[in-house]
Amino acid sequence: MTTQELLQKAKRAKTSLATASTAVKNAALLAMAGALEADTSPILAANAMDMEAAWGHISEVMLDRLALSEQRLAGMAQGIREVAALPDPVGQVLRRVERPNGLVIEKTAVPMGVIAIIYESRPNVTSDAAVLALKAGSACVLRCGKEAHRSAAAIVAALQKGLASSGLSPDLVQLVEDTSRQSANELMTASGLVDLLIPRGGAGLIRACVENATVNVIETGTGICHVYVDESADLDMALNIVENAKTSRPSVCNAEEVLLVHRSAAAELLPRLRRRLVEDRAAAGKVPVELRLDSTAAAIIPGTPAGPADFDTEFLDYILAVKVVDSVDEAIAHIAAHSTGHSDAILTRDSEAAKRFTALVDSAAVYVNASTRFTDGGEFGLGCEMGISTQKLHARGPMGLEELCTYKYVITGSGQIR
Amino acid sequence: MTTQELLQKAKRAKTSLATASTAVKNAALLAMAGALEADTSPILAANAMDMEAAWGHISEVMLDRLALSEQRLAGMAQGIREVAALPDPVGQVLRRVERPNGLVIEKTAVPMGVIAIIYESRPNVTSDAAVLALKAGSACVLRCGKEAHRSAAAIVAALQKGLASSGLSPDLVQLVEDTSRQSANELMTASGLVDLLIPRGGAGLIRACVENATVNVIETGTGICHVYVDESADLDMALNIVENAKTSRPSVCNAEEVLLVHRSAAAELLPRLRRRLVEDRAAAGKVPVELRLDSTAAAIIPGTPAGPADFDTEFLDYILAVKVVDSVDEAIAHIAAHSTGHSDAILTRDSEAAKRFTALVDSAAVYVNASTRFTDGGEFGLGCEMGISTQKLHARGPMGLEELCTYKYVITGSGQIR
């Protein structure tokens, strides 16, 4: 089936979901979870073929992301059941006014319609994205990277069985067959068919979507996150937070990439930082962090001299760029010039500095005295997420079910004219 | 000054506004209103030059839109004072959660940053757009059509005097000097400088923005609005509403362009409609409405045969396309195929039909038993508007101050790590 035909089918199917009750949607989700578990064998077989084909062509980290197991599949099914248990965002009245002329105006949450998701090689995204879109009342069209295509096709087949068994159209979850660049371009320009496009993946994919899409796009994920240690910071707390933000999971978008240190704190903090992130970790058999230091920091501790690119790089690795600044305003200006608008933190005991930082740092999440690693739908209490928006329109930060909806005004009158 | 230089100045200026208190912003707005009135003479002189240059080159309707008078200027100043009196959207905490780990997460309304507006020839848009952006905490960069450029420059000069006298940077309101297509393209692709672009004008301008912009855009305004008269409708009410929606102000985007009539109601409604919209209006010396009829309607009353384009045209004139349908579902399907997603109405006494119509018609405003003419910021109780969004992302329908803001999460901790 061509991508156009598949989009037309999704568009026709979305109507049935727009009028489906919460109970019908939840029953379908539970059936999809069951179907996923029932299809464990064919899904693992398809995944084994993907793994074999990818072997030697992609990195070990990527191979691990691609790999499925009985346990990972059970986790995916459990994730679907958790989404079923979340409140239904559709139909919520966000604001209600009765006007002097008697018109009742209700701003009402409604589904987007058709959500397209372009992603790379993690097969679990297939079911996560599909069930979030479905719970939010939208059909979804998935387009995964070629490495994961057999796995994704087997997962989608199972999800469609679940949909069919619950009486909803299997066309509500579709996988694009073509994994060439052509199909991604078709999704980006499918005006009238795709209501929202979410790219999940590397910076190149996201830039291509932003530059070429004529449909609505939400940029996700790129995170050059900063932690600024103010002169008044509690340095014990600062060391804990910097270590956590950098090393607890360096491959994710909310990990710290850049440390900014106030000049007054640098002489004490930096030697302790080096001991904690480099020496102690090496002694404990952990990967030490490579510190890339600006000239002021390099005068205090040994490390790699930072090049200019180091302050504009999402390392996703055990590497931390370090810069010494003279003031909170210099930290704010550095962040304005280099941040991707994801998550940035100030560590301080000075409430004025905290207030200035949170007002002027223009990022989705701005932290005072906590690790940037908390930017996550679950940690924010949203129950789930479709990705972290780094743009300013519609949704910012973790996108949960509410952020996957739009709204309409429903106006009820009794013959009012103007 | 080049458009790039001007954008850089706006970007630098936005910081001062992000930390300005409500009182400071309101004082600046009142000073801007006063400066506008004080500059009445130079503004009217500039407008007279615009009018003279445009004479014979643009239609009378457009000339009327371009014309300023002492009274219109006083109205613009009054509009500014009304915006000053509205609540400040910036800093509102939209959601607050305290997590079990003690983190306090506040979803907080914040300014967009720099809002660019591309518009055509109405000089009042210059001050309306500037003050709405300013109250919402954003700098604005205005780019008007060449016909209105002298008028806009005089208005912006006055607004900048008001800003300066109140201690805010005059760079917060800027007018692009270049009125060629080049400057519009520069705004569309000014990533990192323009946080939101709002095109206000004809369908061609809006399509160009959607297709070419790499910055965030909100589509506004195109309205092919439908009124569907159901079989159970009160026909007296229907005639009142259809007449109002079509004739009270045909040049605006919330005017009705297409009437859909249920087959069971057509035999009685259509002759009465013809009498009301054509014969009675002609007899009263008003412009009669030209009815463009599908074949079923044409078998009931005389009128112009409708061509297929008539159901996809925003007439903005005393023209109404009329089609007879067999069911509410056929009306919904017609609207899905032809609507621009602005405002559509059902007139009915059947609550099931109303429920189905409001659930399935995918437009910003869906009416039951009222005229589409109410889609307007003031009528919706928003106090003001920057235009009517016809897209589904971020803002839908009338955009007031809240819709001109974005949000960020401000997270306050006491050393939490993950």
pLDDT tens digits along B85-97? 999 999 999 999 9
pLDDT in tens, B333-389: 999 999 999 999 999 999 999 999 999 999 999 999 999 999 999 899 888 889 999
Bridge partners (DSSP) listed for residue A324: A261
Using a 10 angstrom Cβ sphere, with 0-12 exposed, 13-18 middle and 19 or more buried, the burial of residue B96 is: exposed
Does B214 sit within 8 Å of A214, measured CB to CB? no
pLDDT at B138 over 90: yes
pLDDT at B270 over 80: yes
Does A362 sit within 8 Å of B408, measured CB to CB? yes
Residues of A in contact with B415 (CB under 8 A): 234, 237, 240-241, 369-370
Confidence of residue A100 (pLDDT cuts 50, 70, 90): very high
Exposure string of A272-285, with b = 16+ CB inside 10 Å and e = fewer, is ebbebbbeebeeee
Share of chain A above pLDDT 70, in %: 100
Q: Range with the lowest mean pLDDT among A207-221, B86-100, B232-246?
A: A207-221
The answer to whether B259 touches B320, Cβ cutoff 8 Å, is: yes
Does B19 sit within 8 Å of A380, measured CB to CB? no
Nearest CA in chain A to B402: A394
Chain pair A-B, CB pairs under 8 angstroms: 188
Residues of B in contact with A99 (CB under 8 A): 379, 381
Helix (H, G, I), strand (E, B) or coil at A129: helix
The reported pTM is: 0.92
Q: Which has the closest alpha carbon to B120: B190, B169, B54? A: B54
Confidence of residue A222 (pLDDT cuts 50, 70, 90): confident
Cα B33 to Cα A248, A300, B160, B404: the distances in Å are: 55, 56, 11, 21
Does A418 sit within 8 Å of B379, measured CB to CB? yes
The minimum CA-CA distance between A317 and chain B, rounded to whole Å, is 17
The minimum CA-CA distance between B121 and chain A, rounded to whole Å, is 26
Tokens of B331: 């009306």
Helix B40-54 × helix B70-85 angle, to 10°: 120
Residues of B in contact with A410 (CB under 8 A): 358, 366, 368
For A18, the closest of B113, B360, B414 (CB atoms) is: B360
Does A381 sit within 8 Å of B97, measured CB to CB? yes
Residues of A in contact with B247 (CB under 8 A): none
Does A196 sit within 8 Å of B416, measured CB to CB? no
pLDDT at B56 over 80: yes
What average pLDDT does chain B have? 95
For B418, the closest of A110, A244, A362 (CB atoms) is: A244
Cβ within 8 Å of A, B 257-316 = none
Distance CA A380, CA B362 (A): 31
Does B241 sit within 8 Å of A374, measured CB to CB? no
pLDDT in tens, B214-226: 899 998 878 999 9
Cβ within 8 Å of B, A 113-132 = 113
Confidence of residue B201 (pLDDT cuts 50, 70, 90): confident
The answer to whether A341 touches B57, Cβ cutoff 8 Å, is: no
Does A365 sit within 8 Å of B411, measured CB to CB? yes
Would an 8 Å CB–CB cutoff place A373 in contact with chain B? yes
What average pLDDT does chain A have? 95
The minimum CA-CA distance between A367 and chain B, rounded to whole Å, is 5
pLDDT of residue B206: 86
β-strand A365-370 against B405-416: which pairing, if any?
parallel
Would an 8 Å CB–CB cutoff place B406 in contact with chain A? yes
Residues of A in contact with B406 (CB under 8 A): 392-393, 396
The mean per-residue pLDDT over the stretch B137-160 comes to 96
Q: Range with the lowest mean pLDDT among A2-6, A32-36, A54-58, A290-294?
A: A54-58
Bridge partners (DSSP) listed for residue B412: A368, B104
Confidence of residue B172 (pLDDT cuts 50, 70, 90): very high
Would an 8 Å CB–CB cutoff place A366 in contact with chain B? yes
The minimum CA-CA distance between B358 and chain A, rounded to whole Å, is 7
Residues of B in contact with A392 (CB under 8 A): 112-113, 195-196, 216, 406
Question: Which runs of E-coded beta strand occur in A132-220?
Answer: 139-143, 173-175, 196-199
